[in-house]
Amino acid sequence: MASQSSHGNFMKNFLIPAYVLVPESVVEGSNTDIDGPDCPVLVFVNSKSGGQLGGDLLKTYQELLNENQVFDLGKEAPDKVLSRIYVNLENLKLKGDRIAIKVMEKLRLIVAGGDGTAGWLLGVVCDLELSHPPPIATVPLGTGNNLPFAFGWGKKNPGTDEQSVKSFMHQVMKAKEMKIDNWHILMRMRAPKVGDCDPIPPLELPHSLHAFHRVSEADELSMEGCHTFRGGFWNYFSMGMDAQISYAFHSERKLHPEKFKNQLVNQSTYAKLGCTQGWFFAPLFHPPSRSVCVDLSLVGQRFPMFFRLFFFQGSKFAKKPFNIGE
């Protein structure tokens, strides 16, 4: 009985009443004598990450928390979820609901997935332009997990049992907020004179590209004769061959999920794809058309940078502690 009481007291720190999350739901009892959670959380899980780990982790969080606090990214888009919840929170705040006000002030997000999944949530929160954006804790459920590692959450895939999840939630409750750089990218491609560059069948993009959007022709950033895309990144972005390898890995995992059961196997598969794409056997020289032109803007100043890629037909730009990029 003592352990059950201890478990209940611990979970009260995170549990959000259903009426706060679901519009027009019935308020059970009076909330005037309830303080509300000290560390309210919303959990987003990429159930396809980490082999079977994503699905197992989703189930554990659903058992521990209110079902309206846990979301499968394969079924619900985070932008729609957060927009719906924040609209409801604002309405309750106008009515003087103390619990809703506390949730808005102390809400934290937990996102379980790889770097692309974490970047997707960061982009969504950024686009919402909230006066007090919720901090995001990243569960390292991907292959590389560079973003969770950079912020102290580790690289190794986590345990999915109740004790492991509660241990991580305890870390979330005690964690201090940190700022993260937000890099914006503007990409232009020459529009073909015949046909269209858009693929005929709709592509299911990896989570890392959900933060990218096609700019409309009416947008001031649009340029005649070009297709313009805009987006951002928070840790690194890839282009050329490196991006091709990342997309090949995403496509292979989508076709054969049974082959991607654990982190070590995933890393091995990624390395094999890198070799077959030519990481170690690319030609020493490429024609000038292979060169990359990057226009870097920093605090209102623009710095054009030109790269001739002699050994690799791709490049990765990374933001790491104490380094601008590589």
Residue 257 to residues 203, 204, 211, 248, 253: CA-CA distances in angstroms?
18, 15, 24, 13, 5
Neighbours of 134 (CB within 10 A): 22
CATH code at 73? 3.40.50.10330
**Closest residue by Cα to residue 44 from 137, 142, 123, 160:** 137
- Please indicate, yes or no, whether residues 215 and 254 belong to a single structural domain of this protein: no
Q: Does 18 reside within a domain?
A: yes
Side chain identity, residue 126: C
Average pLDDT score over the chain: 75
Asked whether residue 46 carries a pLDDT value surpassing 60, the answer given is yes
| β-pair partners for 214 | 229
Listed residue (121, 172, 107, 180) closest to 150, CA to CA: 180
> What pLDDT score was predicted for residue 193?
67
Residue 190 lies in a domain: yes
User: 312 and 189, same structural domain?
Assistant: no
In terms of phi and psi (left: phi > 0; alpha: psi -120 to 50; beta: otherwise), the region of 195 is left
- Bridging pattern class, strands 70-72 and 41-45: parallel
CB 238 within 8 A of CB 315: yes
- Same structural domain for residues 275 and 161? no
pLDDT tens across 260-292, in order? 666 666 767 666 766 766 555 554 434 444 444
**Alpha carbon distance 14, 66 (integer Å):** 9
**Are 154 and 248 within one domain?**
no
pLDDT digit string (tens) for 81-117? 999 999 999 999 999 999 999 999 999 999 998 888 8
* Within-domain flag for 203: no
State how far the Cα of 80 lies from the Cα of 77, in Å rounded to an integer: 6
Contact 46, 74 (CB under 8 A): yes
**Number of Cα atoms under 13 Å in the Cβ half of residue 273:** 19
Residue 26 and residue 168 in one domain: yes
Q: Are residues 48 and 168 in the same domain?
A: yes
Q: 100 and 11 share a domain?
A: yes
Residue 134: pLDDT above 50? yes
| Domain of residue 147, residue span | 2-174
Q: Does 70 map to a domain?
A: yes
pLDDT tens digits along 199-256 = 544 455 555 555 566 777 777 777 777 878 777 777 666 666 666 776 777 677 777 7
Is 204 contained in some domain? no
pLDDT band, very low/low/confident/very high, at 317 (cuts 50, 70, 90): very low
Tell me, yes or no, whether 248 and 219 share the same domain.
no
Position 239 scores a pLDDT of: 64
- The verdict on 163 and 112 lying in the same domain is yes
Q: Is it the case that residue 305 has pLDDT exceeding 60?
A: no
Angle, in degrees to the nearest 10, between helices 162-174 and 53-64: 70
Percent of the chain with pLDDT strictly greater than 70? 62
Is there a single domain that holds both residue 69 and residue 166? yes
Residue 224 lies in a domain: yes
d(CA 304, CA 306) in angstroms, rounded, equals: 7
Identify whether 281 is part of a domain.
Answer: yes
Backbone angles phi, psi at 238, to 5 degrees: -125, 155
Residues in Cβ contact with 24 at an 8 Å cutoff, skipping those fewer than 6 apart? none
Q: Does residue 219 lie in a domain region?
A: yes
Do 154 and 227 reside in the same domain of the chain? Answer: no
pLDDT at 148: 81
Q: 166 and 77 in one domain? A: yes
The answer to whether the beta carbons of residues 286 and 309 sit under 8 Å apart is yes
Q: How many folded domains does the chain comprise?
A: 3
